[in-house]
Amino acid sequence: MGVSRVPRRKKHRPEGYRWLRSGGTPSFTNRIYKKPSELYYLAKRNVVTATPMMPVGIVARIMDRSNRRILPVVDSNNVVKGMISVMDMVNYLGGGELFGIVENRYKKNIYWALGEPARSIMSYPPITVQVNKTLENVIEKMIIDGVGAVPIVTEKGVLFGIISERDVVGHIAEKDVGVKVKEVMTTSVITVNVEESLKNTMEKMVKYGFRRLPVTFDHSVWGIIRALDIVKFFGSNTVFNYVVNGSIDEPLKVKIGEIALKEYYTIHPDADVGEAAGLMSEKNTGVLLVVENSVLKGIVTARDILMALALEG
């Protein structure tokens, strides 16, 4: 008799969550781009996927090479069975409760741990929207379920395409919306020091539910670390430069400054949200640091902008 699996969903979804109404249901304005069969035209068709039995190490390599932070997990018929994200990977590789698999099943052997199948750490059942639905339905899923991308499927659950938060922000009709960045940004910013270990950084990401953290040095912003950068570290095989005895503890001691990006983009707190959306689209980023007089005031993400534009105040 098979063992039934309990659906695994993310516990933390702070980005944009504060925009939900008390009833938990978003209410949308007409700022969202709409037209008949909109998902048929808006969904990206070149979807990079994983399979349930694909090793975690291969998933990391695919995310690295494709620059994707979320992969639908599909079966042999291309039916979506789950989703695996960079945060699932960070959780498993040292940041959260899934690291228990590495500790207990593989005794922290990094080579064995990277062979764990994707189905063990993916989120399921999958959060999807049928292609005949609306963009509003997609945004609703993003907000309520705290996901950064939603697979678009046929009536039989076959993968048709995918829509991400950034895709939605890029289709906002209005640019000057009369809402300032400081009204939607997150002010309680979680940061990491450039000297902090990779493991501590991963644990902060999982604990607070943020997949991007500003990196500081001498009380100033030095760069930014994304969950995707951490997965790229493992997927590009750079991680093995730090492995001597085969233990994952060795690379987890790496200083985050060796992995973080020094390049980041900033915006003033008094800037219009539409300007922030435009800058994100131009720079192909989902996050901006909000800076005033060289002082970090907050952080604004694609989800924050999406909620500001899509939900009634």
pLDDT tops 90 at residue 230 = yes
Helices then strands, counting H and E runs in the chain, come out as 12, 11
Burial (0-12, 13-18, 19+ Cβ within 10 Å), 176: exposed
112 and 26 part of one domain: yes
258 and 152 part of one domain: no
Distance CA 138, CA 145 (A): 11
Distance CA 205, CA 15 (A): 12
Per-residue pLDDT at 146: 82
Per-residue pLDDT at 177: 72
Indicate the angle between helix axes 302-310 and 273-283, nearest 10 degrees: 140
Tell whether 242 is covered by a domain.
yes
Distance CA 111, CA 109 (A): 6
What is the residue whose two structure tokens read 């291969």?
58
**Is residue 127 within 8 Å of residue 83, measured between CB atoms?**
yes
Tell whether 31 is covered by a domain.
yes
Average pLDDT score over residue span 32-54:
83
pLDDT digits (tens, 9 = 90+) for 69-102: 999 999 999 999 999 999 999 999 999 999 999 9
Distance CA 164, CA 138 (A): 9
251 and 137 part of one domain: no
Sign (positive or negative) of CA dihedral 137, 143, 145, 150:
positive
Choosing from 134, 167, 200, the residue where a domain stops is: 167
Residue 163 identity (one-letter amino acid): I
Distance CA 307, CA 281 (A): 16
pLDDT tops 60 at residue 313 = no
Domain count, the chain: 2
Contacts of 46 (CB under 8 A, 6+ apart): none
pLDDT-above-90 percentage for the chain:
65
pLDDT tops 80 at residue 15 = no
154 and 215 part of one domain: no
271 and 139 part of one domain: no
Average pLDDT score over residue span 149-175:
86
Q: Which domain holds residue 70?
A: 17-167
Higher pLDDT residue, 283 or 256?
Answer: 256
Cα distances (angstroms) measured from residue 23 to each of 20, 66, 311? 8, 38, 14
Tell whether 207 is covered by a domain.
yes
Average pLDDT score over residue span 10-22:
46
User: pTM for this structure?
Assistant: 0.87
pLDDT tops 70 at residue 7 = no
**Is residue 247 within 8 Å of residue 287, measured between CB atoms?**
no
Distance CA 232, CA 20 (A): 33
185 and 154 part of one domain: no
Higher pLDDT residue, 110 or 136?
Answer: 110
Distance CA 300, CA 266 (A): 10
Average pLDDT score over residue span 284-296:
92
pLDDT tops 80 at residue 207 = yes
What confidence tier does 13 reach under pLDDT thresholds 50, 70, 90?
very low
Peptide bond into 125 cis (omega under 30): yes
Per-residue pLDDT at 105: 97
87 and 130 part of one domain: yes
- CATH of residue 136: 3.10.580.10
256 and 208 part of one domain: yes
155 and 218 part of one domain: no
User: Under DSSP, is residue 31 helix (H, G, I), strand (E, B) or coil?
Assistant: coil
To the nearest whole number, what is the mean pLDDT of the chain? 87
Distance CA 291, CA 282 (A): 19
227 and 204 part of one domain: yes
What confidence tier does 139 reach under pLDDT thresholds 50, 70, 90?
confident
Per-residue pLDDT at 304: 86
45 and 154 part of one domain: yes
107 and 243 part of one domain: no
